[in-house]
Structure 1
């Protein structure tokens, strides 16, 4: 069951780094609050979010949390915070809860959700 896998991953993150856990929880709340149809699952070592198709994911690293956008290369980078040079993906590195506002995470999440391919 996906909820159990998500809970287990979150428990592991909390045990390793409570600050990063709080950052992940804040990001999850924002993503899940975008639309009631958004689902989440543990995949590739992080949490992927989908509304019909996957559009973003949260991954925890040693010194930061990364918010990954599946089609990030197609998103307008108005605030110049997207990182990465691949054909499709882009990400935003976050080290604190303040980064959520400073890096305009909500704006990018809305763009990513709207750009998400529909089946």
Structure 2
């Protein structure tokens, strides 16, 4: 059932926001390749990823996609990419597929996954 909800969200995005669909699809691939115990579910209007606990999500907004880290304030920020001033969460804004590499998304995903205890 969860897979069906994820696919429905992706289908909707592909039909109405193809640029965002390309970004979300690539980030999703990176997340699912980050470890065998990574799961995904539709929650809060995006896709939430969990290891032992939820650790990040991908959300499409009008002008960008964000990769949001549940405990991002505690993560190291070696490339200075994390944005946000909240107590816990941090995010990386993505406006193109090339931003995924340029903003070191895979490295931040690995840091967040490790912090989640997987």
Q: Does TM-score exceed 0.5, indicating one fold?
A: yes
Q: TM-score, normalization: structure 2?
A: 0.97
- For 2:5 and 2:59, the matched residues in 1 are separated by 15
Unaligned runs of 5+ in 1: none
Contact 2:51 2:117 in 1 (8 A): no
Q: Which has the higher contact order (CA 8 A, sep 6+)?
A: 2
Q: How many residues align?
A: 118
* Mapped partners of 1:7, 1:107: distance in 2: 26
State the 4+ residue runs in structure 1 displaced beyond 6 angstroms.
Answer: none
How far apart in 2 are the matches of 1:114 and 1:3? 24
Aligned to 1:79: 79
1:35 aligned partner: 35
1:73-98, Cα deviation, whole Å (9 max, x unpaired): 00111111100001100000000011
Alpha-carbon shift at residue 117 of structure 1 (Å): 4.9
RMSD of the TM alignment (CA)?
Answer: 1.0
Q: Give ranges in structure 2 of 5+ residues lacking alignment.
A: none
